[in-house]
Amino acid sequence: MIFEGKVWKFGDNINTDLIMPVKAVQMYKSQNNPQEIASQFCMSTNRPGWAQQVQEGDIIIAGTNWGCGSSRPVSRMIKALGISVIVAESIARLFFRNSINIGLPALTCVGIVAAFDEGEIARVNIETGEVHNLSTGIAIQGEALPADSPPMQILKAGGLSHIKLGT
């Protein structure tokens, strides 16, 4: 599982009210069209206009505590925008679980913020945890999930709904 894409950078404590404001949660339920809702609302409070600029395959690189807050399905918003993978200094557990369980890779990688400027190209290997900055040549090691761990199996299967009951 290797992803290459253009980097968008975010700071610390990007919370679920910023990623998916309550208006988006309400519309998500009634209309069920994540892409349209995501491009209208995602980060509209802290970074208006950003969601409309995201291209399929882009990568988010963020600071500590990415996705903190509610259990709301924020990873669906990020996936709907076309983001292929999130790499952050640390990731809030609900975001991490929601992400893995819908098949959107999320990698914890200490030092990642200093290794990238926005707009540079990242290559992220989810299985080894390696992140390369293809624009500068810098390489940095993230925390790879063990190959036999449930989250890695779930990611490879494309989400928890594709997994048979564990033992």
Partner 1 sequence: MSMTIAEKILADHSGKKEVRPGEYVWARIDGTAIGLSTPSQLAKSNVDKFWDPDRVYAVEDHYALPPTSDAANFSVSVRQIVKKYGVKNFFEYGRHGIAHEIYPQNGYVSPGDLIASVDSHTTSYGCFNVAACGINEEAPYVLANGQLWFRVPSTIKFVITGEYPGPDKFIVGMDIMLRILGEYGSTVGLYRSVEFHGPAVHEMSMASRFSIANLGAEIGAKFAIFPCDEKTLAFLDGKMKRPPNPVSPDPDAHYEAIHHIDLTHMPPYVACPHDPSNSVPVSDVEPKHVKIDQAFIGSCTSGRKEDFEMAARILQGRKVHNDVRLIATPASQLVWRECLREGIWETFADAGALVTHSGCGLCGGWHMGLLGDGEVSISTTPRNFQGRQGSPTASIYLANAATVAASAIEGYITDPREFL
Binding region for partner 1 (CB under 8 A) = 13, 15-18, 21-22, 25-26, 28-30, 32, 44-46, 64-65, 68-73, 75, 90, 92-94, 97-98, 101-102, 146, 149-151, 154, 159-161, 163, 165-167
Cβ 16 vs Cβ 70: under 8 Å = yes
Q: Considering beta carbons, is residue 73 or 142 the nearer one to partner 1?
A: 73
Q: Considering beta carbons, is residue 79 or 132 the nearer one to partner 1?
A: 79
Structure tokens at 111: 């030092």
Q: Supply the minimum distance, in Å, between the C-beta of residue 139 and partner 1.
A: 25
Structure tokens at 115: 């290794």
Q: Supply the minimum distance, in Å, between the C-beta of residue 140 and partner 1.
A: 20
* Backbone phi and psi for residue 19, each to the nearest 5 degrees, phi listed first: -70, -40
* Separation in Å, CA 37 to CA 22, 45, 105, 161, 167: 11, 14, 21, 23, 38
